[in-house]
Copies of this chain bind each other. A is one copy, B any other.
Amino acid sequence: MESITPQPLTAQRFAPFGDVIEARQSSALMINQGTSTRFHDLAAVDVGAEGGRALVNIFRATPYPAPLIIRMMEKHPLGSQLFMPLHGHPYLVAVAAAGERVESQDLNVFLAEGDQGVNFYPGTWHHPLLVLSGKQDFLVIDRGGAGENLIEYDLHSPLVLALD
């Protein structure tokens, strides 16, 4: 089986797929009588298609069985989906550019640090949450409303994740 090694998550590498939510100095503003820094406008929430609205959720994720094998991907054509870790642990993000289909050679796998969130643009192929250990909570902002907003696709060739 083919394998893929995760690369560190950066905003630049992730740009084709969505936003990285992190405290970048370029976005910093002082507020609240100088007691707080606001890292401003870090992600494009896009949930209004077909009368949609923003949902706020907590996802409590546990690891998939080892070894980690990517067998399927999913996408949400009508809305963005944002994940922000609440427990501060690294996790994996498997994505591929929007399109009709997705195959293993299209995949990019990133290692996100525990202080980095991701926001998938509408239509970005992604794997469900890939935490590395334990039980981990994420704040998730995605789309609610009518319409078909979940498409799943089984890869013809599963891909194993090579972890150190």
Contact = CB atoms under 8 A, between A and B. Distances in A.
Nearest to A129: B36
Contacts of A115: 86, 137
Interface stretch (A5-13, A58-66, A104-112): A58-66
A14 interface: no
Contact of A33 (B23, B38, B128, B144): B128
Interface stretch (A49-57, A93-101, A156-164): A49-57
Copies of this subunit:
2
Contacts of A144: 41
A35 B14 CA distance: 25
Interface majority SS (helix, strand, loop, mixed), chain A: strand
A33 to B, nearest CB: 7
28 contacts: A19-B56, A21-B139, A22-B58, A23-B58, A31-B59, A32-B129, A33-B64, A33-B128, A36-B60, A36-B61, A36-B128, A36-B129, A37-B59, A39-B57, A39-B59, A40-B57, A41-B55, A41-B57, A42-B57, A43-B56, A45-B54, A45-B141, A56-B119, A84-B84, A87-B88, A115-B137, A139-B139, A141-B141
